[in-house]
Amino acid sequence: MHTPTVKQHARQLWRFHGGLHLPDNKALSLQRPLRTADLPDRLVLPLQQHIGEPAEPLVRVGDSVLKGQKIADNPAPVSSPVHAPTSGRILEISDQPVPHPSGLPGPCIIIEPDGQDRWATLPEPITDYRSASAGTLRTRIRESGIVGMGGATFPSAIKLNPGKPIKTLIINGAECEPYITCDDLLMQTYPERVLEGARILLRLLDAEECLIAVEDNKPSAISILHTHLQEQDRIEVVSIPTLYPSGGEKQLIRILTGLEVPSSGYPAQLGIVCHNVATTAAIADAVLEGKPLISRIVTLTGDGIAEPCNIETPLGIPASDLVVQAAGYTDKVSQLILGGPMMGFDLPTDQIPITKGANCLLAVSEAEAPPTGATLACIRCGRCAEACPAKLLPQQMYWYSRAKDLEKAQDYNLFDCIECGCCSHVCPSHIPLVQYFRYAKTESWAKEKERREAEHAKQRHEFRIARLERLEAERKARLRKKKADLKKKPARKKASGSDGSKKAAIEAALQRAAAKKAQRQTAPKNTQNLTAAQQAQIEAADQRRAEQAPPANDTIREEKE
Residues that bind ligand SF4 (CB under 6 A): 378-384, 387-390, 392, 394-395, 398, 417-423, 426-429, 431, 433-434, 437
Query: Which C-beta is closer to ligand SF4: that of 405 or that of 453?
Result: 405
Nearest approach in angstroms of CB 272 to ligand SF4 is 20
Q: Considering the complex, state which of residue 261 and residue 354 has its C-beta at the smaller distance from ligand SF4.
A: 261
Shortest spacing between CB 16 and ligand SF4, in angstroms: 11
CB of 394 to ligand SF4, least distance (A): 4
Instruction: Provide, rounded to whole angstroms, the least separation between the CB of residue 288 and ligand SF4.
Output: 37
Nearest CB to ligand SF4, comparing residues 83 and 441: 441
Phi, psi of 19 (to 5 degrees): 90, 170
Task: Tally Cβ neighbours within 10 Å of residue 138.
Answer: 17
Q: Which is nearer to ligand SF4, 61 or 376 (CB)?
A: 376
Query: Cα separation of 203 and 132, whole Å?
Result: 9
Which is nearer to ligand SF4, 79 or 251 (by Cβ)? 251
**DSSP per-residue string spanning 234-278:** -EEEEEE---BTTTSHHHHHHHHH---PPTT--GGGGTEEEEEHH
Q: Is 326 helix (H, G, I), strand (E, B) or coil?
A: coil
- Closer residue to ligand SF4, CB minimum distance, 140 or 250: 250
Q: How far is the CB of 447 from ligand SF4 (least distance, A)?
A: 20
Q: Which is nearer to ligand SF4, 338 or 392 (CB)?
A: 392
At CA 188, angle to CA 347 and CA 145, rounded to 5?
Answer: 55
Q: Which is nearer to ligand SF4, 336 or 427 (CB)?
A: 427
Q: Which is nearer to ligand SF4, 15 or 467 (CB)?
A: 15
- Minimum Å gap between C-beta 245 and ligand SF4 is 8
Report the interhelical angle of 433-496 vs 394-402 (nearest 10°): 60
Q: Are 297 and 311 in contact (CB under 8 A)?
A: yes
Strands (E), 174-252: 209-215, 235-240
Tell me how far, at minimum, the Cβ of 51 lies from ligand SF4, in Å: 19
Cα–Cα distance, 152 to 418 (Å, whole number) = 11
For residue 480, the Cα-to-chain-centroid distance in whole angstroms is 53
Angle among Cα 132, 136, 139 to the nearest 5 degrees reads: 150
Backbone phi and psi for residue 196, each to the nearest 5 degrees, phi listed first: -65, -40
CB proximity list for 184: less than 8 A, separation 6 or greater: 26, 30, 173, 175, 218, 220, 221
CB of 264 to ligand SF4, least distance (A): 14
HSE at residue 498, side-chain half, CA atoms within 13 A, is 8
Compare residues 307 and 443 and give the one whose CB is closer to ligand SF4: 443
Determine how many CB atoms are found less than 10 A away from the CB of residue 97: 21
Q: Least separation, in Å, of the C-beta of 440 and ligand SF4?
A: 11
C-beta of residue 434 within 8 angstroms of C-beta of residue 421: yes
Sheet holding 35-36, edge to edge: 35-36, 309-314, 295-301, 360-365, 333-338, 345-346
